[in-house]
Structure 1
Amino acid sequence: MRVLVYWSLGGVGGIQRFNALLTKALSELGLDVTVLMPSNVNVNALRRYHGVNFGGLRNIKVVRYGVVNCHSQYCNFLNLFVGNNVLSELTRHHDLLFLDTLFLRPFHAGTRIVFYLHDRAVMTSKPRPVFTLKPHRLFLQGLLSLGSRYDVLTRRATRVYANSLFTAYLTENALGIRPGVLYPPIDTELIRKYAMSNKEPIVSMLARFSSSKGQDFAIRAFSKAASTCGDEEDLELVLMGAADDLTSLSYVKH
């Protein structure tokens, strides 16, 4: 069986960890796997942070597509067009697709698909919770919604999974489809020393550093809680996550 795994986003965050470990598992099953990834994905970083050495995998072919030389959500939007053009050419040569985006061009109707929905994969005009509302991103969300192939979910997909209960709820609320929930794998060794216990009053958050993840909200909420519980002087907030581009690094500095 010929399998294609499409990476729509660069970086070293949760979705890249999922895709890397998925690729490794498919390789170990003896399948012929093509990985379509952005040119800015650093395979050395994948090995260092996620423990997947692409050079040591069998039956793996890596195809890279070019990306624009900038760092923002709108740059990612432009990169999707480039990736989709290459994807539409490759689908005819594969029996099964693993996709992590709905922003797609039309392709062969008979291709079997496994979707892994995350973050903003499903857009809807229905109100969203206040803490996820980013007014400056509404235009981008509108463009993504117009270009999303929701019909592929209902007509062609063999399996649909979401990365959280929230994404699954949003998908069901918007499209009437209830995905299974498959949480991204996390590096337990990295966070083990911060494990919660009665003797360690620590609040932890694990997510890519980005305004969309709400670390600023977590800091404000923690600060308010800490000021209310003034007797807990040793209370600590630990934020962990990837910061691999200029946008993420500037957000961390801010």
Structure 2
Amino acid sequence: MKKYLLLLNKNIKSQLEYNKSMYLLIIGEFIAQFTFILSFLILFKSLGNVKGYTVNQAIFIYATVNICYTLAEMLGKGINDLAKLVRNGTLDIYFIRPMSILLQVMGNDFEVSWIGRLVQSLLIFGITLFTSNIKWNLIKISDVVLIIIAGIALFLSIYLFFGTLSFFTTKQVSISVLLMGSGSDILHYPANALPRGIRFILLYILPFGCINYLPFKYILGFTNNWLYCLTPCICFIFFGLVLLFWRYALSEYSSTGS
């Protein structure tokens, strides 16, 4: 992990060489995210409560999911370049270094500008934490922490799964961009307010609902069944399966040459 942090430090320093440009990008990301908040305010002003959710509760879900997605994007963005590393043979260099190949791939890139998005999400999270009329207890507080950790694992799993497919295909699979971009945008809204078909995908095909709909049913008081708090753990199982797929693909990998 120490070596991974050194890779990130080097990557961050290289981006900060053009510090004025980077600071503007960070500020731009911070401001741009408020368009989501504006859309929530307009939607709820015209409709009132949506499926029992108040505007503060919906924004609280948005902020929580956005923290997961942003941290996963920052930490795992290097996986996006895995297809290029395989095609040009650069990945071969990683095998001779005394460090985890996955951590090297992840540390290959780090998007500093997304700090602006993270700060905005944390700010909104902190505000709605106390304005969502949630009756907090130790279980609910622990579950929010679990959701964030599980959410990071889930989004990293999606990156890693489609990145691993690069070992078996000649072109990078771009569906991961769709899932990480548009997919995360869908999760910003309460899942039971979405069409039935989309809700089925979120709950039964990909475990997105495990960091959105299911645990928040208990946190927001829609159910008293505390077992819903354990649903984010499914994301860790999903992450473990993807790691097994990664290790299998790595064991079958043969150099592409130079």
Quickly name the TM-score band, shorter chain normalised. Answer: under 0.3
Higher helix residue share: 2
